[in-house]
Amino acid sequence: MYRPLDVDTIIDYVREHPMAAEHVNTDGEFESVEVGDGNLNLVFKVFDRTSERSLLLKQALPYVRAAGEDWPLSPERAAFEARALEIEHRYAPGLVPEPYWFDEVLMLNAMENLGDHKVIRFPMMEAKRYRDLGATIGDFLARTLYATSDFALDAADKREIMQGFFNVELCRITEDLVFTEPYLPDAPRNRWNPRIDDDVADFQADDQLKAEAAKLKYRFMNFGQALIHGDLHTGSIMANDHDVRVIDPEFAFFGPMGFDVGAFVGNLFLSAASHEIHSRDPDRRLDYRRYLLGEARAAWTTFEDGFRGRLAEVSSPSWGSRAFQDDFMHSVLQDTAGFAGCKMLRRIVGFAHVADLDSIEDLDERARAERIAIRIGRELVSSHARIASFDDVLRIAGDALEVSHG
């Protein structure tokens, strides 16, 4: 029967689980710690001191942890995560934690404990750099999105996988929180810094912006290109100095590829906007901004090159032409720009914010960073269907960041 575990019961659970012996000494001396810092789940690390080995166990709760028990959410999302992690691990081994087992009663995923990796959002607030961050994410995206697209999968196989990803409840969270509520003046879950009231009122009155956001929402809901991660912000990436991993694919479903690329790129731009405050020294600020925009470019370039390289090997005559492939990559690029913009705006005006900005205690300073992010986000959403190259995306971000300090 489903029951939430705690730091004590998780140890008994591991001792008794038939799969655990492959990964730890189940007669060992265990220590456990609860490390969940996300919005939705319990996350335990269990260390076996006798073998120096460990496990990570992630259990879905039946409600949104960040909102409390009055926002119920089916723990079945752990099953979506299990299925997605298995597929990601198959096509991008080494870029996600290795999955060990899924417990469909407790709605719990056991997986590789990544050791000294940290969620990158927080160190990046202190201008931390990760080797090959953008390239690794671009590679992850090229591998997973290509492998689950019509270019790699037979239509019957794609449909069969798709049947495991009717992730309605979590898709609805995205539809509501990313695409709908930020554009509504009276959505009760919205919150924002009171210093940007005028900016928010202005963008919520922008009919052209709202129509473009609606188009992107419709595309999110209808364009089942590939199995996307669905939540690929910098809180879903862990890294140490030599290794980058993508975690938390519980929002996975068949959607538009650009949603994943855009989530990553948009979060780098949010970080860059926040460094207008975090990095007081102008040289260091400019330097880190260049790093972030460079990683955004590396992500796109590696994704595009990787995807094109795979497309070049495709056997179906339909997808073989250069004109088709160019048009395809161009449409993913435009989606990337639009979704990046949506993902930025929702972090400033919607329910779920990012620590990059919310950690800025002075509200006027925070507003200065937020206005830059709003400007980038609005421009990306409004003009996404006119984007011709990734340089256009970087120019939009660069221009808004330049204005801030001249």
Window of 14-22, 56-64, 174-182, 190-198 that interacts with its own copies by CB under 8 A: 174-182
Selected from 67, 152, 162, 314, the binder of its own copies by CB under 8 A is 162
C-alpha 68/C-alpha 65 separation (Å) is 5
Q: Shortest CA distance to 346 belongs to which of 205, 135, 191, 131?
A: 191
Selected from 168, 205, 388, 403, the binder of its own copies by CB under 8 A is 168
| Least gap, CB of 321 to its own copies (angstroms) | 5
Contact between 214 and its own copies per CB under 8 A:
yes
Give the long-range contacts of residues 289-294, CB within 8 A, separation 24 or more: 289/401, 291/129, 292/268, 293/268, 293/394, 293/397, 293/398, 294/134
| Least gap, CB of 218 to its own copies (angstroms) | 7
Tokens of 348: 């400033």
| Least gap, CB of 217 to its own copies (angstroms) | 5
Residue 373 Rama label (left phi>0; alpha psi -120 to 50; beta): alpha
| Least gap, CB of 385 to its own copies (angstroms) | 9
**Sites for its own copies among residues 59-98 (CB under 8 A):** none
Selected from 49, 90, 129, 172, the binder of its own copies by CB under 8 A is 172
Contact between 221 and its own copies per CB under 8 A:
yes
Contact between 252 and its own copies per CB under 8 A:
no
Residues near 41 by beta carbon (within 8 Å), at least 6 away in sequence: 58, 59, 60, 61, 65, 78, 250
| Least gap, CB of 386 to its own copies (angstroms) | 14
Q: How many whole angstroms from its chain centre is CA 149?
A: 19
Selected from 191, 208, 281, 284, the binder of its own copies by CB under 8 A is 208
Residues near 277 by beta carbon (within 8 Å), at least 6 away in sequence: 360, 362, 365, 366, 368, 369
| Least gap, CB of 326 to its own copies (angstroms) | 8
Query: Nearest 10 degrees: CA dihedral of 78, 26, 237, 104?
Result: -10
> What is the side-by-side strand order in the sheet with 118-119?
118-119, 237-240, 243-246
**Sites for its own copies among residues 283-322 (CB under 8 A):** 316-319, 321
Contact between 210 and its own copies per CB under 8 A:
yes
What is the contact surface with its own copies in residues (CB under 8 A)?
A: 150, 155-156, 159-160, 162-163, 166, 168-169, 171-172, 175, 179-180, 183-184, 207-208, 210-211, 213-215, 217-218, 221-225, 316-319, 321, 323-324, 327-328
